[in-house]
Amino acid sequence: MSNVGMSNEENQVMCPIATIYAGTNISNHIACNVIASYGPPDPTESNDDFWKDKANRWSIPLGEARSRLCMNCNNYDNSEYTMRCISKGNGAKVKVSDIPFVPRWVDTDAPKAVCTRFNLVTTSIRSCEDWIGHGYSYGEKAY
Ligand code: SF4
């Protein structure tokens, strides 16, 4: 979009709510974890149990499951406009290490974007059970 130089007022109206409000971003992280096993806590580790569970749920090989990341999910919004919202919004400043997960999650330097399904600011190298391929919609055989 062209109006990425928006004012703070415009930002409040037009940006994804999770980029604006920290509480929303935090609560939606927790909801996504509960509803769709969002994770893993430290995506830089091998996380064998996490990915084996995803492979079983999706009925696909483990290697293919490991390739299904937020960064290539159809719900991953890293448009120029949304990235502007992330750079400006207080909600996007939430560190996953500050969310009351047990054990604590690990912050990474991986790129972030907005998950439009759960409305949270996600890390590109995490995933969840609701991952869906580009060009597909829920109800189709694409996940
Ligand atoms: S729906 Fe997609 S973008 Fe959202 S958390 Fe799940 S895998 Fe990530």
pLDDT digit string (tens) for 58-99? 999 999 999 999 999 999 999 999 999 999 999 999 999 999
The answer to whether 36 touches 68, Cβ cutoff 8 Å, is: no
Tell me what pLDDT residue 2 has: 35
Residue spans of the domains in the chain: they are 8-123
Omega before 103 within 30 of 0, i.e. cis:
yes
Q: Is the pTM for the entire model greater than 0.85?
A: yes
For residues 122 and 58, give the distance between their C-alpha atoms in angstroms, rounded to a whole number.
Answer: 21
Smallest CA separation from ligand 1 atom 8, residue? 70
List, chain by chain if needed, residues with CB within 6 Å of any ligand 1 atom: 32, 38, 70, 73, 75-76, 115, 117-118, 122, 127-128, 130-131
